Every structure is written in structure tokens, then in C-alpha cells.
Amino acid sequence: MHLPDTPLRRIAGSLIGWLAFSFFFTLLVNAALTVMMQNGGFCAVGGPYEIAEGHGCSELVAWSAPVSIFGGLAAVGLGVWLGRGFGVPLVAWAWTILFVGLGIAFVIAFVSTWDWGFGIPGALFAVPVIAVTNVMVKYIAGGEWKTNPHPTTEDILPHA
């Protein structure tokens, strides 16, 4: 289906993509992760290859986790398709928001329980964010953006 490429469509597409992604990300963190982390990070009980009934997460997690994940991916696709490059690109920021948000959720769970099962994933989610932030702060603080506003990978990471 071909839709005309009008400014209104691009504005609405960018807005719809960001709002939908925000909704699904909030659903993932608040409904699925919070409930699951309150149960110790898992929903099943029993031994190996045996899932016992009567414990675990509510039906809320059973539908909200997959709906939020696939809904978030659909929101990014919708923003790309309808927005056509207008505004802040959701496709570029979605993974960063996801990593930072999940990392914060795991760190909060770690600090509240002191369970290393939450601390280690929280640290692992933080590693790529810290690495990218370090490289970009060095690039911006060095003033290279003034002479090279469209850097390539070689400009930012000369020894990579």
C-alpha cells in the first residue's frame, strides 16, 4: 500500500512510533519485569524439566511480555515506515532506550535485594551504554564535531 509522502504523515508517523514504543516499553518494564523480579527473576518452580503449578507470575506477565516485545518492534517499524526520517529517529534510539531501561530495572532490583542474579545482568546492560557514552564524550569534548559534523567509524574509533 502506497501512502502519499506528506509532512503531516511524517509528523504523525514519528509521533505514533514514539508514543507506541513508549507504551510498549513501559508495559515491558512495569508489567512484566517488575512482577517477575518480585518473584526472584523467574516464573516457574520445580526441578529440572519439571514446572510445578501454583507459584509464579500472574497472567499479566504471560501476555504482557510477548505483547510488549513484539509491539515495541512493530512501533519502531511503524515509525520508520510512516515517519520517513522526520524527527528523532526511533530506530536509532530504541536499542539504547531498551538497554538503559532494562539495566536500570536490574540495578534497582539488585539494590533492593542484593541478589547478584540481578546485579550481573544490570552491569552487562550498562557496559555497551558506558562504552558508547565514553567514545561520544571524547569526540564531543575534543571539538572534532566542529570540523567534522558527519563522522565515520574511522573518525571516532581510529584504531578499531
- pLDDT for 103 equals 85
What type of residue sits at position 157? Answer: L
**Residue 44 to residues 21, 65, 121, 132, 156: CA-CA distances in angstroms?**
28, 15, 19, 36, 45
**Residue 150 to residues 19, 98, 137, 145: CA-CA distances in angstroms?**
29, 25, 16, 8
| Phi then psi dihedrals of residue 45, to 5 deg | -130, 165
* Average pLDDT across the chain, whole number: 81
What type of residue sits at position 137? Answer: V
- pLDDT for 42 equals 67
Return the axis-axis angle of helices 116-141 and 90-113, rounded to nearest 10°: 140
- pLDDT for 80 equals 87
- pLDDT for 51 equals 61
> Is the distance from CB of 18 to CB of 79 less than 8 angstroms?
yes
pLDDT less than 50: residues of the chain: none
* Dist CA 55 CA 23 (whole Å): 28
- pLDDT for 94 equals 86
Q: What is the pTM of this model?
A: 0.70
- pLDDT for 19 equals 94
- pLDDT for 1 equals 62
